[in-house]
Amino acid sequence: MKLKKQVTVCGAAIFCVAVFSLYLMLDRVQHDPARHQSGGNFPRSQISVLQNRIEQLEQLLEENHEIISHIKDSVLELTAHADGQPAPPRRDNGSWTLPPESRPSFLAVSPQDCQFALGAKGESPDLQMLAVYSLLPFDNQDGGVWKQGFDITYEPSEWDAEPLQVFVVPHSHNDPGWIKTFDKYYYDQTQHILNSMVLKMQEDPRRRFIWSEISFFSKWWDNISAQKRAAVRRLVGNGQLEMVTGGWVMPDEANSHYFAMIDQLIEGHQWLEKNIGVTPRSGWAVDPFGYSSTMPYLLKRSNLTGMVIQRVHYAIKKHFAASQNLEFMWRQTWDPDSSTDIFCHMMPFYSYDVPHTCGPDPKICCQFDFKRLPGGRINCPWKVPPRAITEANVAERAQLLLDQYRKKSKLYRSKVLLVPLGDDFRYDKPQEWDAQFLNYQRIFDFLNAQPQLHVQAQFGTLSDYFDALYKKAGIVPGMRPPGFPVLSGDFFSYADREDHYWTGYYTSRPFYKSLDRVLEAHLRGAELLFSLALAHARRAGADSHYPLSDYSLLSSARRNLGLFQHHDAITGTAKEAVVVDYGVRLLHSLTNLKRVIINAAHYLVLGDKDTYRYDPATLFLSADDTRLNQDSLPERTVVKLDASPRFLVVFNPLEQERLSLVPLLVNSPHVRVLSENGQPLPAQLSAHWSSATDAMPDTYQLSILARLPALGLRVLQLQKSFDGHSTLQSSVRLYLHGRDVTVRQQEAVPVQVFPAAPDDFCLESQHLRSCFSGSSGLLQSLRCAGEEREQRVSTEFFIYGTRTSKDKSGAYLFLPDGEAKPYTPKDPPIVRVTEGPLFSEVSSYYQHVQTVVRLYNVPGVEGLSLDVSCLVDIRDHVNKELAMRFSTNIESDDTFFTDLNGFQIQPRRYQQKLPLQANFYPMPAMAYIQDTQSRLTLHTAQALGVSSLGSGQLEVILDRRLMQDDNRGLGQGLKDNKRTCNRFRLLLERRSSASKSSSFFSKLASVLKALGFPGSRTGSPEVQDGRPVSFPSLLSHLTSMHLNAEALVLPVAQQPALPALRSFAPLSTTLPCDFHILNLRTLQAEDDSLPSAEAALILHRKGFDCSLEAKNLGFNCTTSQGQLALGSLFQGLELNSLQPTSLTLMYPLGTASNSTNIQLNPMEIATFRIRLG
């Protein structure tokens, strides 16, 4: 203990000296008169002096960082062997306080790691989407035959020197669920499309076809003969059939989370590699409703070189067409060079169907969709039918089509033209194959035989088109063609005509958007634990006892989660029966994943692994909760206490140690909680409420404060105890607001009942003070510890109606009848205030929404933000949408920030020139507003639509109930609403540039600014070299992870003789806190129902903003400039091999070396093929 004190004091002294010397150095640099000459036009000699000083400064910063790291390591080493369990809270002057942390907390961030968010010098993009939006008039002028465009003219001689090269690409868009379920589509249509494809493609080697949805393809593959499989491999091998993108589905890009986007891509690519031996080269996404810049990054890192997109706002298409910018290199906003560039082709017209793909005039193009020949089931709405091509009419028909091809070609920079030929579920009958391929081939033969026309037309795959374009440009695939623009940003929000913005689907069916994320968290947790348990079992030679059959449950869950990323699934835009089918699949996999987690946890916590026996009939651990049906909310397991102790295993799926409140239901208030070695743990007892005023009999909530190892399992024990000091009691105040209701309470948890509403009141923890309205029970203000002023954060609910005209809101579209009106329930709310030492909360019960705002009085991440949940039930509403709005004093002007797929942040601007619905954006993980003083972040556990409709506001749509179809093909409204729980975290952060106490950091910022880095930020989008970019803080990243990866509480089943249990901590070192283990995914063996000895380790290094204050955070956090020693990461396991690969493991990157040290740049995701043992 004495040594520990000496080291700490000595370390602190060194730290102070280092910081003070750095401060003086900064002071000298800042006040050097040479810096203030003629506005920064220094003489050359003074520049070199400044450069020397900057180099000294950098060296000093580095030394300072090393000193801090050494101190941190010394102190952590000394304290590592202490239990480190927080002492119980004590009562001071009527309020609860927690004793100081038993372990020191560090925030040691390398200065170099802060420079990424400040922006590096790089080439500015030619097209920045935020700037494009500001530039466009959005006037929707009538363009003639191309209604949303303009007249296109050309001179026939334009192709004399360089002929037009046309690639007609036959395709069939197969939705894995929409109007019919996945299986119904397969049996009715998809299997016939693929069967005909094999036959018809073999009839003529000039025929081509592309396919993208591997979910369908794999189901078909499982049902065809070896002979047919060989034919498919031949078609792929000779370039007639191309697999494009190669994901399990064509995912939605608005609501999907990057874990699931990557997972479905890996699932598809691994299937293709194993069964056909092919690696996709080109991306094809013609139907998602808007496009995220995350997707081009994932495709680029999977080694794809080109991609096609279609559903982009018609005004942007017109603008890009007019300037020949429909093809571009798509670059990430945060990319300082061109390493993320991928070539992207944007289709110019309204749709991907045949009438809108051959050229600007749909009336003419429809005449070349030979499925619509007279006598068929579909015809041309323009009243001019197609005509079969004969020798007599081929010259006239070919000339008419060529005119369209030439006009379309004028919108692009190259003389190579892409013409898709297909639509939804096309080519399902042999007659259609004949009609399209024979008639087009006659046209091609005629055109190619007329040298004076200067055209070469043929069937092609997507890669045929891209290869020809690259060849014409004289470059290798993946390089930037000379003269083509660079674009950064995204393509939300989408409108296909008029003011019809597809912003409703950001929230549609939020129950399933939430279930999606619950399944995702369980899949990641199950992958990690299964891989670790299997590696440990193999090392111990016990893998013959381990249930390897769990691997097929994992594989099935990957596929069900992947299926739900489809752009009619997670979007909430499928028919009701199809939604139920998705729900059943999700719930089935959720139940199976709990089983995988339980089996792995069972093995890993056994003190003596030799005693492990797997019994499928009686599981060693019970699940933390159960769901009765696919549309039920979870019901938590109640742990029954008796004379013998009950044990719990708590799983922390985060790669960082966490100090968390672990919630649990027990059947007795007489309980105490002990660690595995018998140390008492703080726990708060509170009532469990079935309604606003009914406490459940014989059920109590126990909230245990426990430190959980990173990716580990903590063993806790519960004992029945009649000692009144075993648990910390909560007190409850119930305000009935004049309502005549009966209150049912329990003796163990005293409740004070007040018939009237209270005055405004506040709750306080060691980190936060939050104040609430007495009349509404809703949050009004927030203040962080150490701050002088309150930040107004008033919460209100609003209702949007829909239009009275023929076009109304539906599953896709948000067409409100004007601004939202305040929500006015018929009864005032019942407000319940619970106060206790570890958490306090305010529950407000309204007719359609119940909100709970909770403060955690614990050190670290959990206590630094407010936990907000909304239980929404609008099943009695008609054409209404419920929104929650936060209003603050933050001077954010017209700017706000939303995430893309939980991967990156995209600055947004409220556009006054656009209708209200155009200003909503997807929020899969977070949105924030900020000014020079503060940033307020709303973190979410499910994707929802968000906007900032006024300065200082953040608004999120919680649910929508709409009684009619919105004419986009679904044929139904949204009437199948469920009781849905939406979960959030509200984080208020102070910007360090606004704090007088952080003059050291201000000086650092000013020096960096003088060196050409941008300075302090305001609410407006941060623009660096023309790239708007913003990043969450490290605390914000960790808050999001805590919300999305909750600890799982697994009670040990009651049994006569319990084996010895031991907590499991898999990591031997602390991971840098900007690293995230996205997945540790065991790869399949030759028999795809069994695991191989290899796993995919997928790491993501997060980009973060250092300008947000990080004082007294109460948790350890260090960064390492992206360096990580993987060889020593896993305790008790050896890293036998390490091979860096492309994102989806299709390509090795470099040679496998003996070194296990890796380096990752900020924002990058990297995959490694590893073997643990």
Q: Is 1074 a catalytic residue?
A: no
Residue 658 pairs in a beta bridge with 708
Token pair recorded at residue 967: 């004419």
CB contact at 8 A, 74 and 104: no
- What φ, ψ does residue 576 adopt, rounded to 5°? -55, -45
Q: With beta carbons less than 8 A apart as the criterion, state whether 270 and 569 touch.
A: no
380-405 burial string, b = 16+ CB within 10 Å, else e?
Answer: beeeeebeebeeeebeebbebbbbbb
- Residue in this structure with the two tokens 């909310």, named with its chain if needed: 633
Residue of 287, 353, 361, 496 with catalytic role = 287
Q: Which of 511, 803, 509 is nearest to 633 (CA)?
A: 511
- CA torsion, points 270, 272, 278, 279, in degrees to nearest 10? -50
Inter-residue contact 608 to 566 (CB < 8 Å)? no
Q: What is the three-class DSSP state of 1135?
A: strand
C-alpha distances in Å from residue 437, one per residue of 69, 210, 377, 416, 812: 68, 14, 19, 21, 35
Can the peptide bond before residue 48 be classed as cis, meaning omega within 30 degrees of 0?
A: no
CA distance 621 to 528: 18
How far is it, in rounded angstroms, from Cα 905 to Cα 952?
Answer: 18
Beta strands (DSSP E) in 439-480 are 455-459
Rounded CA-CA distance 1036/1053 in Å is: 37
CA distance 1149 to 1165: 14
Residue among 1092, 1165, 1166, 1080 at smallest CA distance from 526: 1080
Q: Which of 907, 883, 887 is nearest to 820 (CA)?
A: 883
Neighbours of 339 (CB within 10 A): 12
What are 643's two structure tokens?
């004379």
Find out whether 467 and 474 touch, Cβ atoms under 8 Å: no
Query: 515: how many CB neighbours lie within 10 A of its CB?
Result: 26
Per-residue HEC secondary structure of 1002-1025 comes to HHHHHHHHHCCCCCCCCCCCCEEC
Phi-psi category of 108—alpha, beta or left, where left has phi over 0 and alpha has psi -120 to 50? beta
453 three-state secondary structure = helix
Whole-number Å distance between alpha carbons of 464 and 703:
61
> For residue 247, how far is the Cα from the chain centroid?
17
Q: Beta strands 416-424 and 1135-1141: pairing type?
A: unpaired
Contacts of 644 (CB under 8 A, 6+ apart): none
Query: φ, ψ for residue 682 (rounded to 5)?
Result: -65, 135
H-assigned helices in 81-213: 111-118, 129-135, 182-185, 191-201
Instruction: Please list, in sequence order, all residues whose beta carbon lies within 8 angstroms of the beta carbon of residue 497, skipping any fewer than 6 positions away.
Output: 148, 314, 350
Number of neighbouring beta carbons within 10 Å of residue 696: 16
Count of CA atoms in the C-beta half-sphere (13 A) of 115 = 17
Strands 926-930 and 895-900: antiparallel
Catalytic residues, by residue number, are 287
